[in-house]
């Protein structure tokens, strides 16, 4: 499927990979509650795997539509169609998201406590 998409979009494999990664980063950024939460989302294997599965579903829908329109529309219209489908992932896996929120809050608390400890040490 990936090769067909690369061909339809008229892009290199590397540009395709960059597009997928950037879409994942943008999606995580849209749902993140803080910078720490964003970092945890980006490295969470379960979150990434879920996103790739959802992305692949959207790509299948794109292929169905693009094949009907191929040779009938301009390349930029195909690109826009791809963007329309692949940016539709607006929901998220609640259990994984909940875990990353808890972890982010825990990390913020630990960072804040460490910062206070370091500050108190400097003041004494």
Give tens-digit pLDDT for 24-33.
Answer: 999 999 888 8
Mean predicted lDDT score pLDDT of the chain: 81
Q: How is residue 56 written in tokens?
A: 């692949």
State residue 59's pLDDT score: 96
What value does the mean pLDDT take over residues 16-36? 91
With a pLDDT cut of 90, the percent of the chain lying above it is: 45
pLDDT at residue 62 tops 90: yes
Cα atoms found within 13 Å of the Cα of residue 49, Cβ hemisphere only:
4
Which structural domain range is residue 102 located in?
2-123
Positive or negative CA dihedral for 24, 30, 36, 40? negative
Residue-level pLDDT at 88:
83
Query: Is residue 116 scored above 50 in pLDDT?
Result: no
**For tokens 């579903």, what's the residue?**
57
């Amino acid at each position: 499927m990936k090769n067909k998409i690369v061909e339809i979009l008229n892009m290199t494999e590397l540009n395709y990979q960059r597009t997928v990664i950037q879409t994942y980063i943008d999606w995580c950024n849209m749902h993140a509650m803080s910078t720490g939460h964003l970092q945890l989302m980006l490295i969470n294997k379960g979150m990434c795997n879920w996103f790739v599965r959802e992305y692949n579903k959207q790509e299948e829908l794109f292929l169905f539509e693009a094949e009907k329109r191929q040779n009938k529309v301009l390349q930029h219209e195909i690109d826009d169609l791809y963007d329309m489908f692949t940016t539709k992932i607006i929901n998220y896996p609640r259990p994984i998201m909940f875990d990353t929120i808890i972890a982010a809050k825990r990390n913020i608390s630990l960072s804040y406590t460490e910062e206070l400890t370091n500050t108190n040490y400097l003041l004494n």
